[in-house]
């Protein structure tokens, strides 16, 4: 693996995802919210120790998977024991959650076990600030937020693991686990024993804080007076809701609000997300995401896609079902591909974009995932076009010219914007691929157990 002297390349290319590994590895490093980029990143480049653990510098997936799942076959979906669709039977928990409410069910089950001393999970602090905290009892689970899509500093996970003896459950997005395991394998192997189970989220992207700032501008809210935010809940897709100090609530449909489509366009992602090849969370014991399948589109409350990477994870879901707390049906890896799209599952865009940036002499993370064997790289034209658009739009974001981006979406981007909607409508609602026989849908009777 590359010998990189510091984090300068990460900083110059905005590639930090705020996992916090460098903060623990190098005492000179702290994270701050960069005023122009609106992402958390180190205040300075630190040194070799910081670079050595940084997942924006390198991730050795083959090594980490061997370590975590010794002797198991590494498929393009990572190590897979079984795949399920699942849903909490607790209607309120399911409705408040982002998809099927499975993470909270799993947490309740694990926290009640004698060999688990707590769970390190994201909690709300104030306003837009959320940070990892330690919960000890299952009664605390329903106070946790649903999915939070803006970039957040995660160094507290490793700090909490260092501070507390015992065995803990971790809930984490994929790149967070990359940082955690980079740090543990290179700097603190003793911490591995403190991890009881990792519950991973599937993750397509996260956003810089420009997204929230932009949507606030479109809705007339003051982003500096936000007291809380919720991106999901109330149904399978859910609304973005923002509450401000004066007691007002601002809401935006995540599907049809044009302002939302502008502010949560992929150019608002933290830039490393464009290079991410680990959306399916290869390092987690059990992975939970949304079941975005044509056959689940009719759900009223949301269904989770669950990837069990260990027999013990599958056993956990079966136990929940036996106790009447969840329902599930077994599916195949085809449903991972269908739900996430090959572009995301196999890094079609990310591998091609990394090659392009390398050619331009930019720093990119050194990482090949188990999915590289199945990748079908995006075309050079697509990658070059995206890069040009990204550079221009990042410039506008950093100047706070969000209205310019709104106008752009409705003028020069209108055709592409409309095409994306049409594709979604044709595939998910009209089920054109199924009708043409290009894809097999799950039989209706398999899904009758879900709301
Ligand atoms: C940034 C992000 C991007 C995602 N992208 C996708 C995607 O593209 N496709 C897909 O299928 N699923 C994605 N998910 C996962 C999805 O939104 C749900 O979180 C997942 O299906 C679990 O749903 P649930 O109903 O069980 O969870 P919930 O009951 O909603 O629980 C969510 C749990 O995750 C924790 N959490 C919330 N946000 C974060 C965060 N940012 N970092 C760490 N922990 C967090 C909370 O503390 C809570 O314990 C994403 C999640 C996040 C956070
Ligand atoms: S990605 Fe993680 S390790 Fe790398 S600079 Fe950001 S916080 Fe530090
Ligand atoms: S897409 Fe990848 S890099 Fe981006 S937040 Fe999700 S796991 Fe991290």
pLDDT in tens, 48-64: 999 999 999 999 999 99
Asked if residue 276 is part of any domain, the answer here is: yes
The band of 235, judged by pLDDT with boundaries at 50, 70 and 90, is low
CA of 172 to the centre of ligand 1 (A): 8
> 404 C-alpha to center of ligand 3: Å?
27
Q: Residue 331 — φ and ψ, nearest 5°?
A: -130, -165
What lines the ligand 3 site, CB under 6 Å?
17, 173-175, 203-206, 270, 272-273, 276, 278-279
Strands across the sheet containing 226-230? 226-230, 239-244, 249-253
State the closest ligand 2 atom to the C-alpha of 153, by its place in the atom list counted from 1.
Answer: 7
In ligand 1, the atom with minimum distance to the C-alpha of 122 is 47
Strand, coil or helix: 305: strand
Residue 20: inside a domain? no
- DSSP per residue, 5-70: -SSHHHHHTT------HHHHH-TT--EEE-TTT-SEEESS---HHHHHH-TTTB--HHHHHHHHST
Domain limits for position 258: 73-451
The residue nearest atom 4 of ligand 3, judged by CA position, is: 273
Residue 242, beta-bridge partner list: 229, 250
355 is a domain residue: yes
Residue 355 Cα to ligand 2 middle (Å):
21
CA 40 to chain centre: 16
b or e along 5-40 (b: 16 or more beta carbons within 10 Å of the residue's beta carbon)?
Answer: ebbebbbebbbbbbbbbbbbbbeebebebbeebbbb
Assess whether pLDDT exceeds 80 at residue 232. Answer: no
What does pTM read for this prediction? 0.95
Residue 404 lies in a domain: yes
Number of domains in the chain: 1
Encode 297-325: b = buried (16+ Cβ within 10 Å), e = exposed: eebebbbbbbbbbbeebbebbeebbeeeb
Q: Does residue 417 belong to any structural domain of this protein?
A: yes
Strands 118-126 vs 129-135: parallel, antiparallel or unpaired: antiparallel
| The predicted structure's pLDDT at residue 264 | 96
Centre of ligand 1 to C-alpha 149, Å, is 8
Ligand 3 centroid vs 423 CA: distance in angstroms? 24
The pLDDT tens digits of the residues spanning 270-282 come to 999 999 999 999 9
Are 58 and 40 within 8 A, CB to CB?
no
Residue 351 scores a pLDDT above 90: yes
- Supply the DSSP symbol for 272: G
Pick from 275, 277, 267: nearest CA to 385: 267
pLDDT of residue 99: 81
């Amino acid at each position: 693996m590359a010998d990189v002297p510091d984090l300068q390349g990460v900083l110059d290319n905005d590639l930090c995802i705020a996992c916090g590994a460098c903060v623990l590895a190098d005492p000179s490093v702290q994270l701050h919210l960069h005023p122009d980029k609106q992402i958390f990143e180190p205040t300075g480049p630190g040194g070799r120790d910081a670079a050595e653990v940084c997942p924006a510098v390198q991730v050795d997936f083959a090594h980490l998977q061997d370590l975590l799942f010794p002797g198991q076959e590494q498929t393009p979906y990572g190590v897979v024991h079984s795949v399920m669709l699942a849903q909490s039977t607790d209607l309120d928990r399911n409705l408040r959650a982002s998809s099927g409410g499975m993470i909270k069910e799993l947490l309740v089950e694990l926290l009640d076990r004698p060999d688990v001393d707590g769970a390190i999970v994201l909690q709300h602090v104030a306003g837009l600030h959320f940070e990892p905290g330690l919960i000890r009892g299952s009664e605390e689970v329903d106070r946790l937020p649903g999915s939070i899509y803006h970039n957040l500093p995660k160094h507290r996970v490793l700090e909490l693991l260092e501070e507390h003896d015992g065995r803990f459950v971790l809930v984490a997005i994929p790149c967070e686990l990359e940082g955690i395991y980079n740090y543990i394998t290179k700097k603190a192997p003793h911490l591995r024993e403190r991890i009881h189970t990792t519950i991973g989220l599937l993750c397509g992207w996260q956003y810089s804080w420009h997204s929230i700032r932009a949507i606030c501008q479109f809705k007339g809210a003051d982003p500096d007076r936000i007291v809380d935010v919720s991106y999901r809940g109330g149904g399978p897709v859910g609304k973005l809701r923002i509450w401000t100090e004066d007691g007002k609530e601002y809401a935006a449909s995540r599907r049809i609000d044009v302002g939302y489509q502008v502010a949560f366009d992929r150019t608002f992602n933290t830039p490393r997300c464009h290079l991410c090849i680990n959306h399916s969370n290869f390092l987690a014991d059990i992975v939970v995401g949304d079941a975005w399948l044509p056959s689940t589109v009719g759900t009223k409350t949301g269904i989770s896609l669950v990837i069990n990477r260990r027999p013990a994870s599958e056993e956990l879901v079966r136990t929940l079902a036996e106790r009447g707390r969840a329902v599930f049906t077994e599916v195949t890896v085809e449903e991972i591909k269908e739900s996430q799209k090959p572009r995301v599952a196999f890094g079609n865009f990310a591998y091609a974009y990394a090659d392009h940036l390398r050619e331009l002499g930019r720093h990119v993370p050194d990482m090949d995932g188990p999915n590289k064997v199945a990748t079908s790289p995006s075309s050079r034209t697509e990658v070059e076009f995206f890069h040009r658009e990204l550079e221009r739009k990042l410039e506008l974001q950093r100047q706070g010219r969000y209205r310019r981006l709104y106008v752009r979406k409705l003028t020069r981007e209108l055709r592409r914007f409309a095409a994306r909607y049409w594709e979604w409508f044709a595939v998910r609602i009209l089920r054109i691929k199924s009708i043409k026989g290009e894809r097999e849908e799950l039989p209706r009777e398999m899904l009758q157990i879900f709301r």
